[in-house]
Structure 1
Amino acid sequence: MRLIQKLGILNFLVLLLCVLIILVAEYLFLTGNKLHGIFLGLWAPTLLGVIIYIKLISRERR
């Protein structure tokens, strides 16, 4: 619970979504859908990069 308060609810949900994406991508990759697993696995770092970019832009405007 302390982690959620420290990160904020929205950041925690995005982090949870990224973990879920990675788990599903690993499942797809290991069950034989290698291309689908790789494609889906690339979404987690992309999502994190977009969130970091949005945070940097919002801090710059302050």
Structure 2
Amino acid sequence: MTQRNNFKTQIADIIEISVISAIFYLFSFFNDSNVTAIKIIIIPRSSAIVNENPRKRTVA
């Protein structure tokens, strides 16, 4: 059950990241400075999802 819940939360995070990236992509047409905001916001979130698995392996 825990793996399924973690998988659902990962999918939710991926969807949230894609929505945020789509919003900033639309704003990037109006202002080029938002492109850097995309890199600041999305890269830490995606790396946090990637780094989530090794912690669970060490606990297990």
State the TM-score, normalizing by the size of structure 2. 0.72
- Structure 1 residue runs of 5 or longer lacking an equivalent are none
The percent of aligned pairs where both chains have the same amino acid is 7
Alignment of 1:1-62 (within 5 A): 8-31=7-30, 33-39=31-37, 41-42=38-39, 43-62=41-60
Count of aligned residue pairs for this structure pair: 55
Aligned residues: CA RMSD: 1.9
Q: Distance in 2 between matches of 1:37 and 1:58?
A: 33
What's the CA shift for 1:53? 1.1
What's the CA shift for 1:19? 0.5
State the TM-score, normalizing by the size of structure 1. 0.70
Runs ≥4 in structure 1, deviation > 2 angstroms? none
- Structure 2 residue runs of 5 or longer lacking an equivalent are none
